[in-house]
Amino acid sequence: MPVIKDAVCSLCGSLCDDITVTVEDNKITKVENACILGHSKFVGMFEHDRIETPMIRKGGELVPVSYEEAIEAAAKILVNSRRTLSYGWCSTSCETVGGAIQLAEETGSVIDSTANVCHGPSALAAQEKGSPSASLGEIKNRADLIVFWGCNPVHAHPRHMSRYSSFSKGFFTEKGRKGRKMIVVDVRKTDTAKLADKYVEIDQGSDFLLVTALRSIINGHEDVIPETVAGISKAEVLELAETLKNAKFVCIFFGMGVTQSRSKYKNGDAMSSLISDLNQHTKAVMIGMRGHYNVTGFGQVATWETGFPMAIDFARGYPYYNPGETGANDLLVRGEPDAAIIAAADAGAHFPQKAVRHLARIPVIQIDPYANPTTEIADVVIPSAIVGIEAEGTAYRMDAISLRMKKLIDTKFKTDEEIVKDLTAKVRELKRGA
């Protein structure tokens, strides 16, 4: 029975690449090293609500069809659309993302990723201030102070702390957790906060205030700090600033508690400046706790293909980017798209009501291995192979390190990459005949 070592878990942005998988009769029967989330993806894939066949909605019902029929129906929707939204593409490979960008260019669509409703503001902050970062390997081997700010890895990235951060043992951090300090900044005492040496509970939406106060102290202006900042006392802010300055290597991991709270991208912008300030005293870096396993990869591929990381509008014949105007949600709330392609993401479950209501009014093409709320409003449903299990491909970890995901078992499903390629070819054929 084949035992495959060093498989990559394609679930969260930690992209653990030390998974051992046992395959019997083309089924995964044993998984070693994965956390409960990763394990359920590897072995539970047969139990989830898998889309078994391509489908087209006829008379209000989704009816099974062949891949060829579904791709032709999808291509017709795209060719007849004047303003298509292409959204998602973060739980799939970089190769698929490259194809999806080509398809968006071919159809003059807007293409956007799930980052727009999670870590998108960090991308804007990185454009303005840069993103002083490091690999997770460097952090494992060197960081003696780990800060989790507005994130809860115990639940969202369960192996992060043991593989790369708080609990891991590295070359200069051989004592593991005993040799590292761990601070959590959040608005409520999460399970991650319960493991920290210090938990700093701040008022909701006040991250910018605290970061700015820390910067003032680190730059020698503690006299301007009021008695209370972000719901914590001046004494506590001073102590936190000292701890950051006195560490040998600081890493601030930040989550959606920072990127989606009040001040949005300005939080990331201020955080980046805080890291620069700290680097006058010690070594400091920051990394976003990315959720979908290849959301970082979308940003990488989109940036090298178009110059922009998300929310890219090809309507003018060249890439145009203006988040707030060209983001998926912005477009849907304005009621602009007359067709949508949703792939490897679930807009139906995650977008606000007004956006979902507009999606329900227009033709929607879904590409995904699993049925989800988007399936309920889709007109063409195209099932795909699960990347990292049934298909190989490249993904980028949260620290922008690329990893190659293996194919572990055979499947009857087409890969996302093949579907996008076939769809683009069909669109070109229909356009030639038009």
Q: Of 35 and 240, which has the nearer Cβ to ligand SF4?
A: 35
| Closest to ligand SF4 by CB, 159 or 283 | 159
CA distances from 132 to 100, 128, 129, 163, 282 (A): 30, 12, 9, 21, 13
The residues with which 85 forms a beta bridge, in sequence order, are 110, 340
Q: Which is nearer to ligand SF4, 91 or 300 (CB)?
A: 91
Contact 246, 141 (CB under 8 A): no
CB-nearer residue toward ligand SF4: 85 or 136: 136
CA dist., res. 149 & res. 297, Å (int): 23
Query: Least distance (Å) from ligand SF4 to the CB of residue 15?
Result: 5
Distances in Å between the Cα of 87 and the Cα atoms of 243, 311, 345, 412 are: 42, 9, 8, 25
Angle, CA of 225, 265 and 136, to the nearest 5° = 95
What tokens appear for 191 in the block? 């399970």
SS3 115: helix
Q: In the bound complex, which residue of the shown chain has the CB atom lying closest to ligand SF4?
A: 38
Binding site for ligand SF4 (CB under 6 A): 9, 11-12, 14-16, 34-35, 37-38, 157-160
Q: Nearer to ligand SF4 by C-beta: 42 or 321?
A: 42
Which residue's CB is nearer to ligand SF4, number 37 or number 401?
37
Do 115 and 153 form a contact (C-beta atoms < 8 A)?
no
Least distance (Å) between residue 273 CB and ligand SF4: 30
CA 355 to chain centre: 20
Q: Tell me the closest approach of the beta carbon of residue 41 to ligand SF4, in angstroms.
A: 7
Please report, for residues 7, 129, 310, the alpha-carbon distance to residue 404 in angstroms, rounded to integers and kept in the order given. 9, 30, 23
Helix/strand/coil (H/E/C) assignment for every residue in 156-172 = HCCCHHHHCCCCCCCCC
Nearest distance in Å: CB 11, ligand SF4:
4
Question: Smallest distance from the beta carbon of 185 to ligand SF4, in angstroms?
Answer: 22
- Residue 395: how many other CB atoms lie within 10 Å: 30
Min. distance of Cβ 42 from ligand SF4 in angstroms? 9
Closest to ligand SF4 by CB, 159 or 358: 159
- Strands 228-229, 232-233: parallel, antiparallel or unpaired by DSSP? antiparallel
In a 3-state reduction of DSSP, which class is residue 225? coil
Q: How far apart are CA 115 and CA 128, in angstroms?
A: 17
User: What's the closest the beta carbon of residue 79 comes to ligand SF4, in angstroms?
Assistant: 38
Q: What is the DSSP letter of 46?
A: T
For tokens 């078992």, what's the residue?
409
Rounded CA-CA distance 430/434 in Å is 6
Of 7 and 217, nearer to ligand SF4 (C-beta) is 7
Nearest distance from residue 104's CB to ligand SF4, in Å? Answer: 28
> Are the beta carbons of 358 and 348 closer than 8 angstroms?
no
Select 35 or 408, whichever has its Cβ closest to ligand SF4: 35
How many CB atoms neighbour CB 62 within 10 A? 19
- Between CA 75 and CA 69 the distance in angstroms is 10
The bridge status of strand 339-343 relative to strand 320-321 is unpaired
Q: Which is nearer to ligand SF4, 37 or 400 (CB)?
A: 37
Q: Which is nearer to ligand SF4, 13 or 323 (CB)?
A: 13
Please report how close the Cβ of residue 39 comes to ligand SF4 at its closest, in angstroms: 8
Output the smallest distance, CB 293 to ligand SF4, in A. 7
β-bridge pairing 84-88 and 110-113: parallel
Least distance to ligand SF4 from the beta carbon of 9, Å?
A: 3
